[in-house]
Amino acid sequence: MKDFIIPDRDFGTPAAKSKQMVTLNIDGFDITVPEGTSIMRAAAEIGISVPKLCATDSIDAFGSCRLCLVEIEGRNGTPASCTTPVAPGIKVHTQTGKLKTLRRGVMELYISDHPLDCLTCSANGDCELQDMAGAVGLRDVRYEAIDTHFRAKDTSGIANPNYIPRDDSSPYFSYDPQKCIVCSRCVRACEEVQGTFALTIEGRGFDSRVSFGAKTDTALSSDCVSCGACVQACPTATLQEKSVIDIGTPERSVITTCAYCGVGCSFKAEMRGDELVRMTPYKHGKANRGHSCVKGRFAYGYASHKDRILNPMIRDSINDPWQEVSWPEAMEFAANRMKGIIAKHGKKSVGVITSSRCTNEETYLVQKLTRAVFQNNNTDTCARVCHSPTGYGLGQTLGTSAGTQDFDSVEETDVVIVIGANPASGHPVFASRLKKRLRKGAKLIVVDPRRTEMVDSPHIRAAHHLALTPGTNVAVVTALAHVIVTEKLYDEAFIRDRCDWDEFQDYADFVSQPQNSPEAVELLTGVKASEMRAAARLFATGGNGSIYYGLGVTEHSQGSTTVIGIANLAMMTGNVGRPGVGVNPLRGQNNVQGSCDMGSFPHELPGYRHVKGPEVRAIYENLWGVTIDPEPGLRIPNMLDAAVEGTFKGLYCQGEDILQSDPDTKHVSAGLAAMECVIVHDLFLNETANYAHVFFPGSSFLEKDGTFTNAERRINMVRKVMAPKQGYADWEVTQLFANAMGADWGYTHPSQIMEEIAMTTPSFAGVTYEKIETMGSVQWPCNDKAPEGTPLMHVDGFVRGKGKFINTEYVATDEKTGPRFPLLLTTGRILSQYNVGAQTRRTDNVMWHDQDVLEIHPHDAENRGIKEGDWVRLASRAGETTLRATITDKVNPGVVYTTFHHPDTQANVITTDYSDWATNCPEYKVTAVQISPSNGPSEWQEGYNAFATLSRRIAAAE
Amino acid sequence: MSHDAPHAKLIYMANQIAKFMESKPHDQGIEGLASHINDFWEPRMRRHLFEVLDAGGNGLRPLVLDAAVKIRRPAEAA
């Protein structure tokens, strides 16, 4: 198999960014590098690896191991090459008799306190200490180890007080102090790369030890978030993946893309045979720059979990047990049912849901299935329930349904507004990059009902935390605009040049109205007017201003209005079109951007082109030989309404669990139960499958080729590292089904699907697999105008021409608190779990979060007699559930919060079916609730669990 | 909001769009509301909306009534 690794050398220290170049001579070779480069890195660039232990190019130089010494002509001594910057004209020698002796002496000391069990050591073959002993020619150790850190007992059998046993508390890596050389790489990675500061060096001199905080802390009980940066940085077996300890070292690696969140980190899937040994972040991945989080790095075990279904299954009724059948039988059964429905109820009675978990190519085929084979536009995707308002709002104001920046942009930002997002939990690798910038002095404004980790964490403190009442985003964003406009802090030159000045005047009149002032909305939003004013002034005057936002913005009745308000803020302050600024939606799913791009929405063909346009339809009509319906199709909530009404009967749902992830569970289940053929295509028997008649087993991201598009519009390669366990990649399954329905598709590789996408979609015209292979990744638009793709959007002008200011009138949601439901529930995510948890619940990540809990303020808890850990009943107008409470002042009085990762919690039994006015994106973030003490699970939970158990039965093979 | 009446839900949705469009000048509001419904509402939904409109538009905000002539009446069920 092809090995996609570009030689992944460690240059020892990070690259310098200076434009000033310096020429020096190393070992007789001239080399020119940017000013500020270390001698070690300059040497590495001409292929000379100076021996080193404490240096690695993901973190700043430290100069502690004294192995990388060099001699410089005309200078005294033997400076460390990692901490010594280059200078013009110097002559450096990396290998002299003096250096050889010194290095050997240093290594001798290291080895004198290190166990010599190399053959049975888990880092055997992957150990820099071993490599350096070889590199410096260490042949003999003169010192007899008397006091050591690695012997459990001394020679007389007395316990060694310096010996610390291995810490195996983390499910994913072990910390073995006896192998530690105290190079501090782990401590520095935790600080500089991850920004958690969980690790420290305790003691001094011979007593120096790596420690997870206090002496009593273990890896699991400490602040450690298990991102893997320390494991990555460790040169020995001290911090090591347990999978490597179990399996052994990998023999090859393949670059691929993480299948969790919208950051889209590049990883090396390190393999032995067809067994995945470990996933390590890829240094040249442009989204993550070599960093990772606990999910992508470690939580891949779901792909081989025993719950995975590997055979297609069918059943006549959802009350029957499942029958395992062959692929052809499943296809025939599914196609006959769908054909029957279409014959009886018409071609608009069926539809599809594409998956934001699957590849672009797979998503494209699913929407093609409904448009070309079913011949309707009934296609939707889970972006409906997350970022559909982003598509609408940014499309209206800026002209394109996507974020404006790449993630590198954060390195040049000066003031950041994070609104309705908690990147530390939801987009951890981006959060680490943001925190790095904040530690260097950028200012942060957090708009969130909760005191999230972004507000206050080690070495990070938000300048302003606008802890608004859920549901008042529009009022806050408009009030910020009010301050900027009335205090004349806007960027007039930018607005005159890039937007319509008259239109801005109209908008300025609107926001300047007294009812939009911070003082006027203070009571409503719960945010002090002075804080809002200070935040607005900071954003408008603090330099490069960027806005990052998440589902706390979109999942509201006025989600689209807030997105428009955010675009207004960016435009009026001139913060669009260069590095360090912009409007940046943090996308939830790995390929939610891609699934939107690929025409998953019922009103638009791939590339965001409305189906009403005859010239756009003609492109596909000519290629596919069908007539495309010019009318928009049904969105997910509309499909369910139509199902309840009896006009929508059949659904092919790929890689989405609408029963768990969509609001108002009872309405979803009623809609699904009313359908005659529900086909679920997934890795697991998810909650939706309880209502399915056909189950197509899915393939994991490790088992197929394709592309994902992340929140930066970056198209990244997904590569097959093992054969699909159930026989087919998902795109092949969709093709089999389409052909069973009478189509004549003959794709033999996803690259052919991408060719079709590029041929028909202007913004993808220049995208080919060859280009992605060569460039590593490419950001759309990629076409003749931008053959290398587009890292920054709207550089010289907005995609729509002039940027459009649109009034953002605050309309209170109809979901209101009252005597029966006096509290507001809002929802969010936690680091270790992912969305509905289908993947992460099937990994050891449950050790961090085994159930959803309700956060409640001490005042509200005391009023209700609720204590820490109590079962509580959570009731709304839509339904009720039970879960355990935790008491915290992270939430304000009147607000409660929970996550939605566990199906037992059924948080969406509580949420209502209110939705965004423009896109029907559900209002997950605001539900009026009451909390009361409880004895245990609600009747609904027990009833549902019984039904789910019954529904998941699989009949024994005959 | 009730689920058993598809009309009630559509009236609610149309009024939600109206509330956003009402902050625009009246002409632009009418245009915006009608084109939004034409662009995003599947014919079944528009058919139900017209059932309400044809019965007098009870419960709909004035802007929806004003925009009705610009909303595309769907062809009869296929």
DSSP A815-855: ----SSS-EEEEEE--TTS-TT-TTGGGSGGGGT-SS-EEE
Verify that A636 and A765 share a domain, yes or no.
yes
Contact A348 B45 (CB under 8 A): no
Those residues whose C-beta lies under 8 Å from the C-beta of residue A441, and which sit 6 or more positions away, are none
pLDDT at A1: 37
Give strand ranges (E) for A48-202.
Answer: 71-72, 91-93, 173-175, 200-202
**Distance in angstroms (rounded) separating the CA atoms of residues A447 and A466:** 5
Instruction: Specify burial of residue A847 (Cβ count, 10 A radius: 0-12, 13-18, 19+).
Output: middle
Torsion angle, alpha carbons of A732, A738, A744, A748, to 10:
-10
Chain B residues whose CB is inside 8 A of the A809 CB are 19-20, 22-23
Measured between beta carbons, the chain A residues lying within 8 angstroms of B40 are: 603, 632, 635, 918-919
| Distance in angstroms (rounded) separating the CA atoms of residues A123 and A121 | 5
Bond preceding residue A781 cis, omega within 30 of 0 = yes
CA atoms within 13 A on the CB side of A254: 23
For residue A906, give the amino acid letter.
Q
Is position A816 within any domain?
no
* Chosen domain end from A272, A304, A336: A304
Grouping H, G, I as helix, E, B as strand and the rest as coil, residue A70 is coil
Beta carbons of A688 and A680 less than 8 angstroms apart: yes
Which residues does chain B have within 8 Å of residue A602's beta carbon, measured at their own beta carbons?
42
- What are the φ/ψ torsions at residue A453 (nearest 5 degrees)? -65, -25
Q: Tell me: do A718 and A673 sit in the same domain.
A: yes
Nearest by CB to A667, from B3, B13, B78: name it.
B3
**Are A603 and B3 a contacting pair at CB < 8 A?**
no
Tell whether A381 and A392 lie within a shared domain. no
| Smallest CA–CA distance from B78 into chain A, residue | A346
Residues A345 and A233 in one domain: no
Nearest to A621 by CA among A436, A893, A269, A372: A372
Q: How far apart are the first and last CA of chain B?
A: 30
- Looking at residue A879, its pLDDT comes to 87
Cβ contact B78–A647 (<8 Å): no
A53 Cβ contact partners less than 8 Å away, ≥ 6 residues apart? A65, A67, A110, A128, A129, A132, A181, A183, A235
3-state secondary structure of A696: strand
Chain B residues lying within 8 Å of A348, measured CB to CB:
44, 78
| Residue A813 counted as domain residue | no
- Where among A561, A585, A609 does a domain terminate? A585
- Chain B residues whose beta carbon lies within 8 Å of the beta carbon of residue A345: none
Q: What is the pLDDT of residue A157?
A: 87
Confidence of residue B5 (pLDDT cuts 50, 70, 90): low
Q: Which residues of A touch B (CB under 8 A)?
A: 346-348, 377-378, 510, 557-558, 560-561, 602-603, 610, 612, 631-635, 638, 641-642, 644-645, 647, 667, 670, 807-809, 811, 814, 912-915, 917-920
Contact at 8 Å (CB) between A527 and A476?
yes
A643, A595: one domain: yes
Mean pLDDT along residues B52-70 = 93
CA nearest to A404, candidates A806, A795, A708:
A795
Cα distances (angstroms) measured from residue A794 to each of A496, A543, A585, A594, A801: 15, 19, 16, 20, 9
User: Both tokens of residue A891?
Assistant: 């939430």
Q: CB distance B42–A347 less than 8 Å?
A: no
Rounded Cα–Cα distance for residues A745 and A453 (Å)? 49
Count of Cβ atoms closer than 10 Å to residue A919 Cβ: 24
The pLDDT score that the predictor gives to residue A849 is: 86
| Residue whose token pair is 């992340």 | A710
Q: Which residues of A touch B17 (CB under 8 A)?
A: 917-918
Is the distance from CB of A266 to CB of A286 less than 8 angstroms? yes
Residues A630 and A755 in one domain: yes
* pLDDT confidence of residue B76: 67
Q: How far is it between the farthest Cα atoms of chain B? A: 37
Whether A466 and A598 share a structural domain: no
Q: pLDDT at position A384, please?
A: 86
Range of the domain at A127: 21-135
The minimum CA-CA distance between B39 and chain A, rounded to whole Å, is 7
Residues of A in contact with B9 (CB under 8 A): 641
The CA distance from A682 to A119, in Å, is: 43
| Count of other CB atoms within 10 angstroms of residue A348 | 24
Q: Which of B28, B39, B44 to mutate to test the interface with A (most CBs of A within 10 A)?
A: B44
Q: Where are the alpha helices (DSSP H) in A646-726?
A: 658-661, 665-673
Contact status of B20 with chain A (Cβ, < 8 Å): yes
End residue of a domain, out of A281, A304, A327: A304
Which pairs with CB-CB distance under 8 Å and at least 24 residues apart come from A208-214?
Answer: A208/A182, A209/A149, A209/A164, A209/A177, A209/A180, A209/A182, A210/A175, A210/A177, A210/A180, A210/A182, A210/A184, A210/A186, A210/A238, A212/A167, A212/A175
Q: Give the residue carrying structure tokens 């009478």.
A: A742
| CATH number for the domain harbouring residue A189 | 2.20.25.90
Distance from CA of B23 to the nearest CA of A (A): 6
Can you tell me the distance from the alpha carbon of A828 to that of A854, in angstroms, rounded to the nearest whole number? Answer: 11
Whether the per-residue pLDDT at B78 is higher than 50: the answer is no
Proportion of chain B above pLDDT 90, given as a percent: 77
Mean pLDDT by 10 residues, chain A (958 residues): 58 95 97 97 96 96 96 96 97 97 96 93 94 95 88 87 94 96 96 96 92 89 95 96 96 94 95 95 94 95 93 95 96 97 96 95 97 96 88 91 93 97 94 96 96 93 96 96 97 95 94 96 96 97 96 93 96 96 92 93 94 95 95 94 95 93 86 96 94 96 96 95 95 97 96 96 95 94 94 90 92 91 91 84 88 94 94 91 93 92 80 88 92 84 83 77
For B42, the closest of A638, A809, A814 (CB atoms) is A638
If asked whether residues A427 and A576 sit together in one domain, one would say yes
Q: Most A CBs within 10 Å: which of B42, B51, B63, as the mutation test of the A interface?
A: B42
CATH (domain of A508): 3.40.228.10
Nearest chain A Cα to B13, which residue?
Answer: A917
ipTM of the complex: 0.92
pLDDT at A855: 95
Reference A932, options A850, A823, A828; nearest CA is: A823
Question: Exposed/middle/buried for A711, CB within 10 Å: 0-12, 13-18, 19+?
Answer: buried
What's chain B's Rg over C-alpha atoms? 12
Hey, is A32 helix, strand or coil? strand
Number of domains making up chain A: 5
What burial letters (b/e) apply to A655-690, b meaning 16+ CB within 10 Å?
Answer: bbbbbbbbbbbbbbbebbebbbbbbbbbbbbbbbbb
Contact B39 A809 (CB under 8 A): no
Do residue A576 and residue A595 come from a single domain? no
In the structure, what pLDDT confidence band is assigned to residue B1 with cuts at 50, 70 and 90? very low
